[in-house]
Amino acid sequence: METTTGLADDPAVVQRILDHIDRRTTDLGDGTWTEPVESYRSETRFAAELRLLRRHPAAFCPAAALSRPGSYVARDAAGTPVVAVRAGDGRVRAFRNACRHRGTQIATGMGCERALVCRYHGWTYELDGRLRHVSGAYGFPGLDKSAMGLVPLEAAEVEGVVFVTQDAPAIAALDALPALIPPRFRLLDVNERDVPANWKFVVEGFLEGYHIRSTHPETFYPLQYDNLNVVERFGRNNRIAFPFRAIERMRSVPPAQRTADGTLTYVYHLFPNGIVATFPGRVVMVALEPLALDRTRFVTYVLSDRDPSDARAGERLQQGLALVDAGALEDREVVCAVQRGLASGANEVFTFGRFEGAIVHFHRTLHAMLDAMGAST
């Protein structure tokens, strides 16, 4: 796959940030956007969004979650039970998570197995989806096992992320992607949390730094800048750089040697509902799964490249995770307050300004793709 994205390299991003610090500026979008409040309240619109999420390649899990043959991840994506598995040939495959006999889910959570076995009647599937064994096969005369394999979905492993497309034909191919999760990162933790808010509100919370001082006065703001970001688009996606105050030490480093490591966080928005965020020593991937108009599931994967035997590094990693968790709680509280505010009837539209250019790109892209599907918005 072509991976040229047009994204700036680390030295260029660091220089842009230092220039913004000196000028007291930030990246500005090319215009404002008004989004109808009805887009967050309409069941018709929500159903169309789910169809889009099923027809667009969506970030499903880190490749590190499928570290060896037999590793699998099973969860719901856009309301569909899906299982992704690394087969014996090393390829990642994805299937609708249902036995072809009576429809029982064949896998739950995460694990590693030599085959996928239905717990109801023991029908057994190879890691490539073929039906291997039918219990009491004589009770199914004429059954064509070759036609009864797991129903496949399109899966692609790109730059450390597994993408799954549920409905063919897909309405869009994967955009060229930068390096997201390097192979050296291993999976540390997975958790799921349901939040009573529309999935678009949750996406929006990741895409701007205009709220850092007011929302995170004791967590992120002492370490980061308020309303100072570098915002870049690549295809349908966004990358937002959130600098740490420690970036000031880069002034004494030769420009070509300046690095993002320890000086800024990159947040990659992988349209439509995936997030990859970089931190010192770790990467966090989040899939934001819409459950209802007013409910979203966070599926969060935490990865690290630190030596697990290094106690000091482990302590720093835990401190960093605690800080991010505290900031994430503040973000969730605000997003839920936005959702509750819908009941006030105060707004017919939400207005996104030039500080919120990544959000504008998200909504503009979402509208365009729904229109391309002929969906009602």
Q: 65: domain CATH number?
A: 2.102.10.10
Question: Does 107 share its domain with 193?
Answer: no
Question: Does 141 share its domain with 103?
Answer: yes
Residues 6+ away with beta carbon under 8 Å from 314: 306, 308
Q: What is the pLDDT of residue 303?
A: 96
The DSSP string of 106-151 is S--EEEE-SSEE-TTT--EE-TTS-EEE-TTGGGSTT--GGG-SPP
Question: Does 115 share its domain with 254?
Answer: no
Question: Does 14 share its domain with 72?
Answer: no
Give the chain's length: 377
In a domain, 80, yes or no: yes
Question: Does 341 share its domain with 192?
Answer: yes
Q: What is the pLDDT of residue 377?
A: 45
Question: Does 25 share its domain with 95?
Answer: no
> Which of helix, strand or coil describes residue 1?
coil
CB 164 within 8 Å of CB 82: yes
Residue environment code for 122-143, b if the CB has 16+ CB neighbours within 10 A, otherwise e: ebbbbbebebeebeeeeeeeee
Question: Does 314 share its domain with 207?
Answer: yes
Question: Does 25 share its domain with 70?
Answer: no
Last residue of a domain, one of 165, 190, 209: 165
Question: Does 28 share its domain with 113?
Answer: no
In a domain, 309, yes or no: yes
Last residue of a domain, one of 165, 189, 209: 165
What residues make up the domain containing 258?
Answer: 10-56+179-373
In a domain, 315, yes or no: yes
Question: Does 100 share its domain with 219?
Answer: no
- Per-block average pLDDT, block size 10, for the chain (377 residues)? 69 98 97 98 97 96 98 98 97 98 98 98 98 97 97 96 90 85 96 97 98 97 97 97 98 97 97 96 96 98 89 85 92 97 97 98 97 75
Give 17-75 pLDDT, tens digit per residue: 999 999 999 999 999 999 999 999 999 999 999 999 999 999 999 999 999 999 999 99
Question: Does 316 share its domain with 193?
Answer: yes
Question: What is the tally of structural domains in the chain?
Answer: 2
In a domain, 2, yes or no: no
For position 23, which CATH number holds? 3.90.380.10
In a domain, 173, yes or no: no
Q: What is the pLDDT of residue 4?
A: 45
In a domain, 171, yes or no: no
Give 281-292 pLDDT, tens digit per residue: 899 999 999 999
In a domain, 21, yes or no: yes
In a domain, 107, yes or no: yes
Q: What is the pLDDT of residue 5?
A: 64
Last residue of a domain, one of 140, 165, 190: 165
List of long-range contacts for 80-88, beta carbons under 8 Å, 24+ apart:
80/54, 80/166, 81/105, 82/153, 82/164, 82/166, 83/107, 83/116, 84/60, 84/155, 84/162, 84/164, 85/116, 85/127, 86/127, 87/126, 87/127, 87/128, 88/127, 88/128
Question: Does 130 share its domain with 266?
Answer: no
